[in-house]
Chains A and B, each alone.
Chain A
Amino acid sequence: MHLGIDRHRPDRIAAIDDTGTELSYGGLCDFALEFGSMMPRRSIVFCLCENTIGALSGYIGCLSNHIVPLLIGAAIDRKLLVHLMEVYTPAYMWMPEGLVSEFNYPILYKGYGFVLVRTEHEPYPINDDLAMLLTTSGSTGSPKLVRHKYINLVANAKNVAALFDWTKKDRAVVDLPIQYTMGLNVINSHLYAGASVLLTEHNLMSPDFWRNIKDQRATNFTGVPFSYEVLFKLRFTRMDLPYLTTFAEGGGKLTDGMFADTADYASRTGKRFFATFGTTETSARLAFLPAELANSKIGSIGQAIPGGELFLLDEKGNEIKQKEAEGELGYRGPNVTMGYAYCRDDLMLGDEWQGEYRTGDIARRDRDGCYYILGRKSRFLKLYGLRVSLDRCERLIKDEFKIDCVCTGTDKRMDIYITEDKYKDEVRRFISIKTRIIMSAYAVFIVEIIPRNESGKVQYEALDRKLALRLI
């Protein structure tokens, strides 16, 4: 069975969702067997996910039977869904019962509020190693998928469970979407350890989320930077959360201020704070900062996870041997996926990456071998011959003015988007001084709101400069 779920005592609870439904490890194994008998192995199944037991059991059912799911959100944009269906022609779909009428396909099977339907498409040959497909966090409107193999998921679950030291007693609250690599990794690593996952559709801003944390005695929380923005807005450091003892972060970089405050809070209250780093292409986590270093290595992603190796590449693509250095971050390990798919034929492809992945992020390595992400390679501009990080500028402005901000631009000029008219001149002066580049290299735009997707990532393509109020 996937993740060795049949190793655990059958009566132990694997998952609980918002409806209060509890699913034991034994129940999950039984379900997986039944689910597998409904369709041929190697079928492609589109799983329309929500954070419920129905979605989770479908995912486990697929992986346990060598059926290949594409995990996507149930709320996925319908144009994109239609496009994905046309490109990958899945023979089956697994979806919440409430969505069935939208598709008008015959129902083959029902379980935990989900249904399996048969589409008009026929199964087709795919690569033997292909285990699962995910979209990438950056892909909006594109059919680009990441091809996972079986060892990727198991290795990452095992190694991440080891670094956090998860045990059967852990209870992880999972509000990050199942179909999002980091959310899935939280689930996988806990199930590997025989722990319980508390799946929730409630968001951090809802009273139900916090009631759930208290009632279910959640022990672990994993959030993206936006989650931590919400936590700080809610003044979580003053909340009474006796059971919640591990805070993990991934999916982007916290501001140094929030990082330091979270580390400080954790050490004062006897909790653990782990900054981690991952990508969909590496089945989520590839690096983590040990909790005991959180106070001294502010902003660092630490070192490779167990079983993996980090390295830096220079502009020519050669590995940099000096201890202290800056370059593109690369990773070697068993969780590196096989490559991308852009069309159906690509599902026949084998392992193109062979255990090695270049992240496209520029990172710095300090003398202790700890890594710091400086930003996306594509998020650097060369202004007047100087390399300037758009991400660093965003953080500087956010930290200085406590405002929301996005930086984009070209090698000719950086465009800074903020939401507060009153800081327009100060922002421009401030960033010019910080980067030591003249003010004419910067333009400031005022927008009503910074567009973000469901995991809080800025949608640069949705930033409409025409609508923005231009302020030199």
Chain B
Amino acid sequence: MNNLKKYNKVFTTLFNISDNQLNKDFTFNNVEDWDSIVHLSLITELEDTFNVMLETEDILSFGSYENGMRILEKYEISFTDV
């Protein structure tokens, strides 16, 4: 499974949605179910999936599906297929 698929799977499992609902509008502010409890689970899942430890700043600013990828790229997780 490539990183994008893994990344999407964390979201689709946690929010109980399908891949096509993941777009630039999938943000902390827009998604009703995305509260602090889910946020904690999300970060924990992503850290486990990609074997990284996010910095405080990155956990706090992880406010959307799209931005999350930019943040993980800082930890050398690539989302572009080679």
Chain A interface residues (CB < 8 Å from chain B): 203-207, 210, 226, 229-230, 233-236, 238-239, 404, 448-449, 452, 456
User: Is there contact, CB below 8 Å, between A233 and B60?
Assistant: no
Q: A210: which B residues are within 8 A, CB to CB?
A: 60
**What's the dominant secondary structure at chain B's contact region?**
helix
User: Nearest CB to that of B35 among chain A residues?
Assistant: A203
- For B41-82 the 0/1 string (1 means CB < 8 A from A) is 101100000000001100111000000000000000000000
User: Is there contact, CB below 8 Å, between A448 and B60?
Assistant: no
User: Is there contact, CB below 8 Å, between B14 and A238?
Assistant: no
User: Is there contact, CB below 8 Å, between A448 and B13?
Assistant: yes
Q: B14: which A residues are within 8 A, CB to CB?
A: 448-449
Additional pairs, 9, CB under 8 Å, beyond known A205-B60, A234-B59: A203-B36, A205-B36, A207-B60, A207-B61, A230-B36, A234-B56, A234-B60, A449-B14, A449-B41
Q: A452: which B residues are within 8 A, CB to CB?
A: 37
Interface centre among B13, B36, B39, B55 (most CB of A within 10 A): B36
**Least CB distance, A237 to chain B, in whole angstroms:** 10
User: Nearest CB to that of A175 among chain B residues?
Assistant: B36
Q: Does B16 contact A (CB under 8 A)?
A: yes
Q: B16: which A residues are within 8 A, CB to CB?
A: 448
User: Is there contact, CB below 8 Å, between A206 and B60?
Assistant: yes
Q: A204: which B residues are within 8 A, CB to CB?
A: 36
Q: B60: which A residues are within 8 A, CB to CB?
A: 205-207, 210, 234
Q: A205: which B residues are within 8 A, CB to CB?
A: 36, 39-40, 59-60
C-alpha spacing A233/B45, complex, angstroms:
12
Q: B41: which A residues are within 8 A, CB to CB?
A: 404, 449
**Least CB distance, B37 to chain A, in whole angstroms:** 5
Chain B interface residues (CB < 8 Å from chain A): 13-14, 16, 28, 35-41, 43-44, 55-56, 59-61
**Least CB distance, A138 to chain B, in whole angstroms:** 18
User: Is there contact, CB below 8 Å, between B13 and A233?
Assistant: no
Q: B44: which A residues are within 8 A, CB to CB?
A: 233
Assuming the A-B contacts A233-B44, A448-B13, A448-B16, are A456 and B37 also in contact, with contact meaning beta carbons closer than 8 angstroms in the complex? yes
User: Nearest CB to that of B60 among chain A residues?
Assistant: A207
Q: B43: which A residues are within 8 A, CB to CB?
A: 233
User: Nearest CB to that of B28 among chain A residues?
Assistant: A206
Q: A236: which B residues are within 8 A, CB to CB?
A: 56
User: Nearest CB to that of B39 among chain A residues?
Assistant: A205
Task: List the 6 closest pairs (A to B, CB-CB), nearest first.
Answer: A203-B36, A205-B36, A207-B60, A205-B39, A234-B56, A235-B56
Q: B55: which A residues are within 8 A, CB to CB?
A: 235
Q: B40: which A residues are within 8 A, CB to CB?
A: 205, 229-230, 233
C-alpha spacing A372/B44, complex, angstroms:
30
User: Nearest CB to that of B53 among chain A residues?
Assistant: A235
Q: A404: which B residues are within 8 A, CB to CB?
A: 41
Q: A234: which B residues are within 8 A, CB to CB?
A: 56, 59-60
User: Nearest CB to that of B43 among chain A residues?
Assistant: A233
**Least CB distance, A122 to chain B, in whole angstroms:** 37
User: Nearest CB to that of A404 among chain B residues?
Assistant: B41
User: Nearest CB to that of B55 among chain A residues?
Assistant: A235
C-alpha spacing A226/B37, complex, angstroms:
8
C-alpha spacing A230/B40, complex, angstroms:
7
C-alpha spacing A449/B44, complex, angstroms:
12
**Least CB distance, B38 to chain A, in whole angstroms:** 8
User: Nearest CB to that of A226 among chain B residues?
Assistant: B37
User: Nearest CB to that of B62 among chain A residues?
Assistant: A205
User: Nearest CB to that of A234 among chain B residues?
Assistant: B56
Q: List 20 A-B contacts (CB under 8 A).
A: A205-B36, A205-B40, A205-B59, A205-B60, A207-B60, A207-B61, A226-B37, A230-B36, A230-B40, A233-B43, A233-B44, A233-B59, A235-B55, A236-B56, A238-B56, A239-B56, A404-B41, A448-B13, A449-B38, A456-B37
**Least CB distance, B13 to chain A, in whole angstroms:** 6
Q: B39: which A residues are within 8 A, CB to CB?
A: 205
C-alpha spacing A219/B14, complex, angstroms:
35
Interface centre among A205, A229, A234, A449 (most CB of B within 10 A): A205
C-alpha spacing A469/B40, complex, angstroms:
23
